[in-house]
Structure 1
Amino acid sequence: MTEMLETTQTERNLHIPKKRTRPLVVSLILFGGIFALIFGIMLSVSFGAADIDFATVWEAVFRYNPELTQHQIIQEIRLPRVLGGVLVGAGFAVAGALMQGMTRNPMADSGLLGLNSGAGFALAICFAFFPGLSFGMLILYSFLGAGAGAGLVFGISSLAKGGVTPVRLVLAGAAVSALLVALSEGVALYFRVGQDLAFWYAGGVAGTKWFQLKIMLPWIGGALLGAMMLSRSITMLSLGEEVAVGLGQRTGLVKLAGTVIVLILAGSSVAVVGSVGFIGLIIPHLTRFLVGVDYRTIIPCSAILGSLLVVFADLAARMINAPAETPLGALIALIGVPFFLYLARKERREL
């Protein structure tokens, strides 16, 4: 009888996310966000060193004429750039949401926990020792580097007395990231591949090409679909591992699948956009504040808001000091660093 009451109470806990979900806000983000994203894409394609009106953009997309210079600028430079921003923003945001849900760590982010720096170190090794690798192979090595970086962070933080805590994870992440970035710079200087890594350090989508999009789209698209399929399990896991186990969930399998999805999203994004952090930290928190704690709504809304952030930040990066470009990573860090300090202060109060 007691076991039945405990099971009933646990099952009721599953309805907590549903009660806190805000359907109207979710609809506004999903549909309004898509329209805002389309508008942002149009703006991003139109504005730049050479301003192009919307009518020309429409013609270049649907009636492309390779003999017109403006059509070439749109098709070969601006469209792949902005679409790359859409994919990367969604990838980083959903990766952060999954990490925060699985670890119940409010400060989890691919940049803070060593994934970005690990992927960057793997790219440095590739540029130095395997300069002829295809972009598809670079993405695979980015996955491995991201996994190695995350493994070091979790391994070091678990050595301390008391086990893994959010603050220890962040401190270990900062130390491992600094080490991997220093090693990457050393490899770049010794093997003279600094120019190849310069874009990665600055962070941005300026160099995105169509062939890169064709390679990364199946990876990121498949990982986003996998994240949606895993969303209900992540919701249960975010309520506590005991609750999830009590409902018969195989938490180890869920965490393994979630980790693979995170590595794919973060590795693919870093291979394209470079060292851009804080997207996966800011967006999931903002999304949870707006829509509640059900990951069936958090994941799609995070994808849209992450894409919006990168698209408009990239547009701002081009417009602030035109015709020169401000690094995308620096602009997002202006928002991300104060937000991180706020979270760290809040977490310290709760310890």
Structure 2
Amino acid sequence: MSATPAPVAAAPAQRAPAVTRGSLVGLVVLGGLLVLACLLSLAVGSRSIPLGTVLHVLLHPDGSDASMIVHTLRVPRTALGLAVGTALGTAGALMQGHTRNPLADPGLLGVEAGASFAVVVGIYAFGITQLSGYAWFALAGAGLASAAVFAIGSSRGGPNPVSLVLAGTAVSALLYSVAQAILLRDVDTLDDYRFWAVGSVAGRDLDVLLEVLPFLLVGMLLAAVSASTLNLLQLGDDVAASLGLHPMRHKVVGILAVMLLTGAATAACGPVGFVGLVVPHVARFFSGVDYRWVLPYSALIGALLVIATDILGRVVVRPAELQVGIVMALVGGPVFIWLVRRSRMVRI
């Protein structure tokens, strides 16, 4: 009689790889890095100040040279970098989510072209020479250009992602062409304009930030409202509508948030490229594809990126400085090429 073979233990089931998800721990880590970057921004410059001295003069202003440098120059610069990075990172994530295009950038809505054109007109026709004046003209131009792109790229069913991109490209090309024609005819306008157009958080005081702050706050509020609906919109308008969502209404809210955030950031410091394009890819790598996590991750990473590049611009050619827009282009280009080659990171 043959022996009954012993039962073979079933092999443990192979678990599917877990999808990367955002977490509060990740947000806390990013927040800590951002606080450290802000402190370094207050300490590093043509004249370096020890962190202990920075903390002391922040809490107890004493009228010393270090106190004057920190409060008059570096606090406004750091606060503006924090606000601009947060706005552009959030706007980039919203833009890529609403267009379902991983290569979309907030500038595709014509915001930067409209702001640049309005600043040129303000300098050439109205003699505006103050940064506070640039901000209001840039806000108006960004709003009008975005509204034109939105109107051209929308149909009865609401804004079409492909049409928005095409309309934004056409409107941007037109506005940039007219602005360049004015600049070529007037050297004085070019001299004033290039100081704003280079993209810099230096030389701005808190008044500039306070002027655009209401637009930034409203934009962030609208972004928070649209975060949960973005996940459904990724399934397509028909599926989202069958689940009880009103696609057009939520697209309008999201695109309006992009207009306000990008327009206010551009008005405050000039055009700064690559933030809205690169940051959402990095955020999705750490947080996954749930936009309830992508948006806060993008906000913190955008702020961290702008402040870090501003610090880098202060030290690479010390005692001179490179503006954040220049450093961002030098850093953002290679980083974006690397991201594109890692196809897993650019897939939404």
In the other structure, the counterpart of 2:5 is: none
Q: Given the alignment of the two structures, is residue 256 of structure 1 paired with residue 252 of structure 2, yes or no? A: yes
| Counterpart residue type for residue 213 of structure 1 | L
2:128–2:134 contact (8 Å) kept in structure 1: no
1:111–1:276 contact (8 Å) kept in structure 2: no
In the other structure, the counterpart of 1:331 is: 327
Q: CA deviation at 1:153?
A: 5.7
Deviations for 1:135-165, whole angstroms, at most 9, x for unmatched residues? Answer: 6775454344224444666778899xxx977
**1:104-115 equivalences in 2 (<5 Å):** 104-115=100-111
Q: Given the alignment of the two structures, is residue 40 of structure 1 paired with residue 71 of structure 2, yes or no? A: no
Bigger share in helix: 1
**1:230-269 equivalences in 2 (<5 Å):** 230-269=226-265
- Equivalent position to 2:113, from 100, 112, 117: 117
1:143–1:263 contact (8 Å) kept in structure 2: no
- Equivalent position to 1:297, from 293, 300, 313: 293
- Equivalent position to 2:180, from 155, 179, 185: 185
| CA spacing shift, 1:113–1:338, aligned 2, 3 Å | farther
1:139–1:267 contact (8 Å) kept in structure 2: no
- Equivalent position to 2:126, from 126, 130, 134: 130
Which moved further from structure 2: 305-314 or 319-328?
Answer: 319-328
Q: CA deviation at 1:325?
A: 1.5
Q: CA deviation at 1:216?
A: 2.3
Distance 2:316 2:171 in 1: 33
| CA spacing shift, 1:240–1:134, aligned 2, 3 Å | farther
In the other structure, the counterpart of 1:83 is: 79
In the other structure, the counterpart of 2:269 is: 273
2:314–2:321 contact (8 Å) kept in structure 1: yes
Which moved further from structure 2: 288-297 or 107-116?
Answer: 107-116
2:93–2:276 contact (8 Å) kept in structure 1: yes
Q: CA deviation at 1:65?
A: 2.1
Runs of 5+ consecutive residues of structure 1 not aligned to the other structure: 1-18
| Counterpart residue type for residue 22 of structure 1 | R
CA RMSD of aligned residues (A): 3.1
2:100–2:161 contact (8 Å) kept in structure 1: no
2:202–2:323 contact (8 Å) kept in structure 1: no
1:223–1:261 contact (8 Å) kept in structure 2: yes
Distance 2:340 2:206 in 1: 38
Q: Given the alignment of the two structures, is residue 146 of structure 1 paired with residue 142 of structure 2, yes or no? A: yes
Normalising by structure 1, what TM-score?
0.81
Identity rate, percent? 36
Runs of 5+ consecutive residues of structure 2 not aligned to the other structure: 1-17
Normalising by structure 2, what TM-score?
0.82
Q: CA deviation at 1:133?
A: 9.1
2:20–2:285 contact (8 Å) kept in structure 1: no
Deviations for 1:6-41, whole angstroms, at most 9, x for unmatched residues? Answer: xxxxxxxxxxxxx84624xx3233101111111111
Deviations for 1:310-336, whole angstroms, at most 9, x for unmatched residues? Answer: 000000011111112123222222343
| CA spacing shift, 1:169–1:253, aligned 2, 3 Å | closer
Q: CA deviation at 1:60?
A: 2.0
Distance 1:115 1:291 in 2: 28
**1:309-324 equivalences in 2 (<5 Å):** 309-324=305-320
